[in-house]
Chains A and B, each alone.
Chain A
Amino acid sequence: MKSINARLRTIFINRDSRFQSVIIGILVGICSGLAAVGLNFGLEKFSRFLSRFEGNFYVVLFPLAGITLTVFILKYIIKDFGGHGVPEVIYSISMKGGAIKFRSSFSKLIGSMITISSGGSAGPEAPVVISGAAIGSNIAGYFKTNERIRVAVTGSGAAAAIAAIFNAPITGIIFTLEVILGDWAPQNMLPVAIASVTGTIVSRMLKGNQIPFKHREFNVTLDDIFAAAGLALVIAIISLVFIRMLKLSAGVLEKYFKNAIGKAAVGGLLVGTVTVFLPYVKGEGYEVVRRLLGGNFIVPIGMVIILILMKIFATSVTLGAGGAGGVFAPSLFIGSVSGYFYFQLVTFIFPHANFTGAPLFALVGMAGMLSGALYAPLSGIFLIIEITGGYDSILPLLLVSFLTYTIVKLVERHSIYHHELVQKGFLLRPRTDKRILAEIQPAELLETDLITIYPNMLLKDLVPIIERSRRNYFPVEDPETENFLGLVYLNDIKSYLFNPALLNSIIVEEVMHTDLPIVSLTANMTDILKIFDTTGAWSLPVVEGNKFFGLISKATLLDHYRKELKVETEDL
């Protein structure tokens, strides 16, 4: 008798791919939703427990303990990679067909729970996104789906997680398509939407249908909209500071502390020192955001600037030291405080202008920061609409989001999620030249219908071989070792073939080319094309371990490229 496992699997394997994605989407939505709510719940409990000790001098050591513990658990017990998680998800989608290790579905949840509740400055969204994606990837793997579906399902997990943690189904979908998958192909939509809906339902059942950030209704004035343009510039500058600071702190900590635990301890101590003086920058910081939007967060402008800089510093150090968490929540924090800062600035300069108020600017600043730091303008806009339950601020939202995005992109081409992947050549979005070239393997282009010849053959001996061969290239091998020696081009020897005297005197060794660029079976197509371009060759020999495997010709490569492009562009 078949096991239940095997039976479950066979039910789905041979079904229509759309049916598959619906069923898997629901499953993934439930699991990722639970993970998101679970982390939320755990964070609340943990933070409440630790808040009892507030006021004692030793709380300065909490982040140290938290980050060190996180690094210890992730590195030595679960043995998972570091980093904030989102780039790893994008990497797996780009390069691994969406495959993610199972341990990633819980490692970051545990890590971020410790990091954030102990006072580290980071957000719970990235951990939830990677857990959701890992859950999706593993469910897809369980049902043995093909890679296309697995990629979509991995994205669905991320969508469900975002949807569940913010009670924001549209944001879940948009964030996945914009940041994670980078692809709005129709076949991705269905599983992503289903998972997003399911994740939201799970979250509402367990946490209730609340809007995370309530605010009064706005009546946006024309003055607000003009001011928004200036806000975009401020947010763009702060975004750039944030991006640079994240890179810098990771680099500096990496450089001076080779030991991961030591790095975590030093980072934790720095964060602890900052948070002791400025408890606002602790954790994910949503309390401050909530108060800002409610209009009851009032601090002087100098303090606001310190708050922004310190939050940037604390977040950069927390993540650079190896703490688990993301930049999503810190971005929202920094964005809202920056909005508040800008509001104070403009009311000081234009005391008579008709501005709606600090909450509106804080709100718009949040969306701006998501565009500026994460390069996710659409996600930012939809997130703000969904988490504030209102559409009234849409005009300045649109304006600030896209302006910030454009300005930041002028300076930094790639977001913090992408820049490392791009540097390593790991960001391959669907239907791009790089992606298509990466798909094609040398083995697929190998032309093997060639006749091997030997160096001491006379040209005369070649005549019957040339007669039979369909190709104009003849690989030369050492008769004893069978090692590849070079190539003979028919074109080169054509003129000797009709000269009986030369026919009997020239040997292969004298006419073969030995200084050819060779290609290995594992070479990537981008490099192979480069060789074609630089040498002007039309065919290159593929040699692995001194043995000749075949030829790769430019014509076949481009023919194959076009077929790959056709298959890649049209959906099933």
Chain B
Amino acid sequence: MEKTKYISAKEVAQALGIPMVTVIRWAHQGKIPCKLKKDGYVFNWEEINDWAGSHDFVPMKKEALDNDSAKDETISLRKAIERGDFIYNLSGCDIYSILKNALEKITLPEGTNKEKVLHELISREEIASTGIGKGIAIPHPRCTLNLKLEKPVIFVIFLERSIDFSAVDGKEVFVLFMMFSPCTEVHLKLLSRLSLCLREESFLSLLKEHAPKEKILIEIQRIETLFDSQRNDSLQ
């Protein structure tokens, strides 16, 4: 006989979006299908799913139970850059040629239509420049495209010579952080982390001297760890 797979009250609570106390009370009152084992109530995943359906609860996804850890992982700028690449001395005389040349040098997930990506990047620049000042620009597509990205990727691109990017402070841009994110939420989080780094003079000077990949990554790591530890401190 095949052994039925049971889930705990906590998992039921998570999947249905109700407090665990309520799930246990319902079990006790007989309002939700369950079995009483020695160490408490257990629930059959399929029974619960049927029950949720017939009681007008949003049916739960089994993956939701397993994927919880992935969601909790904090977004790390360093990891996103590590997933991408560093490009030095990219040539180009205007925004268009720079973006075009950059796209040729980077690797995106297989089957990506680079032409379309370029179009998206350009149209984003047309709305408002992504030059955020201090000689830095963060070109990114308007929507997430169909890049089939699971995790964000950032390419750091140093230009051969600075160009006019119509940046907010009017300064010429010398480095690009080209960002591809799976969703807006991740994109915004990365952006806030990047702006955090850009506040640091040490980081800016590393960029200005086109420092090697390793040095920059170590610096980002330093800033991020500092930030995370401060955050945890105040949370406790």
Q: Is the CB of B57 within 8 A of A566?
A: yes
Quick check: which of B19-27, B102-110, B138-146, B201-209 contacts chain A, the rest being far away?
A: B19-27
Chain B residue numbers with a CB within 8 Å of A148 are 29-31
CA separation between A222 and B194, bound complex, in Å? 95
Q: Which of A1-30 contact B (CB under 8 A)?
A: 13-14, 17
Q: Is there an interface contact between A567 and B26, defined as CB atoms closer than 8 Å?
A: yes
**B22, B33, B56, B234 — most chain A CB neighbours (10 Å):** B22
B19 CB to nearest A CB, Å: 5
B31 pairs with A443, CB closer than 8 A: no
**Which of B29, B36, B234 interacts with A147 by CB under 8 Å?**
B29
Q: Smallest CB-CB separation from A563: which chain B residue?
A: B18
Q: Is A572 an interface residue (CB 8 A)?
A: yes
- Distance of A172 from chain B, by nearest CB (Å): 23
Chain B residues with CB under 8 A of A572: 30-31, 33, 51
* Nearest-CB residue, chain A, relative to B33: A572
Counting chain A residues whose Cβ lies within 8 A of the other chain, the interface size class is 20 to 34
- Docked pose: A13 CA to B42 CA in angstroms: 13
Contact with B along A441-458 (1 / 0, CB 8 A): 101111000010000000
Query: Which residues on the B side are within 8 Å of A439 (C-beta)?
Result: 25, 29
Q: Is there a chain A Cβ closer than 8 Å to B54's Cβ?
A: yes
Question: A465 an interface residue at 8 Å Cβ cutoff?
Answer: yes
Chain B positions within 8 Å of A97 at CB level? 29
Q: Are B36 and A560 in contact (CB under 8 A)?
A: no
At the interface, yes or no: B28 with Cβ under 8 Å from chain A?
yes
CB pair B30 A566 closer than 8 Å: no
- A444: chain B residues within 8 A (beta carbon): 19, 21-22, 25
Interface residues on B, range: 20 to 34
B3 at the A/B interface (Cβ < 8 Å)? Answer: no
Question: What are the residues of chain B within 8 A of A465 when measuring CB–CB?
Answer: 234
B55, CB-defined interface residue at 8 Å: yes
Q: How far is the CA of A434 from the CA of B22 in the complex (A)?
A: 18
In the assembled complex, B161 has its CB within 8 A of some CB on chain A: no
Query: Would A14 and B25 be within 8 Å (CB), given that A444-B19, A468-B231 are in contact?
Result: no
Set of chain A residues within 8 Å of B54, measured between Cβ atoms: 570
A464 to B192, CA, bound (A): 13
Q: Specify which chain A residues have a CB less than 8 angstroms from the CB of B32 in the assembled complex.
A: 567
From the candidates B18, B31, B35, name the one contacting A568 in the complex (CB within 8 A).
Answer: B31
| Those of B4-48 within 8 Å (CB) of chain A | 18-19, 21-22, 25-33, 35-36
Given A443-B21, A464-B234, A563-B18; A146-B29 close (CB under 8 Å): yes
Q: Which residues of B contact A443 (CB under 8 A)?
A: 19, 21
What CA separation (Å) do A14 and B37 show in the bound complex? 9
Question: In the complex, what residues of A have CB within 8 A of residue B18's CB?
Answer: 560, 563
* A441 interface neighbour in B25, B55, B56, Cβ under 8 Å: B25
| Option from A14, A441, A464 in Cβ contact (under 8 Å) with B35 | A14
- The answer to whether the Cβ of B226 comes within 8 Å of any Cβ in the partner chain is no
Determine the distance from Cα of A570 to Cα of B25 in the docked complex, in whole angstroms.
17
Which chain A residue lies CB-closest to B32?
A567
Indicate whether B235 reaches chain A with its CB closer than 8 angstroms. Answer: yes
**Interface mask (A129-172 → B, CB under 8 Å = 1, otherwise 0):** 00000000000000011111100000000000000000000000
> Which among A147, A468, A560, A567 has the greatest number of chain B C-beta atoms within 10 A?
A567
> Do residues A563 and B57 form an inter-chain contact, with CB atoms below 8 A?
yes
What are 21 pairs between A and B in contact, CB < 8 Å? Answer: A14-B35, A145-B30, A146-B28, A147-B28, A147-B30, A148-B29, A148-B31, A149-B30, A439-B25, A439-B29, A440-B22, A444-B22, A446-B19, A464-B234, A465-B234, A560-B22, A566-B55, A567-B26, A570-B54, A570-B55, A572-B31
A451-B235, A566-B55 known, 5 other contacts, Cβ within 8 Å = A13-B36, A148-B31, A440-B22, A445-B19, A464-B234
Interface residues, chain A, CB within 8 Å of chain B? 13-14, 17, 97, 144-149, 439-441, 443-446, 451, 464-465, 468, 560, 563, 566-568, 570, 572
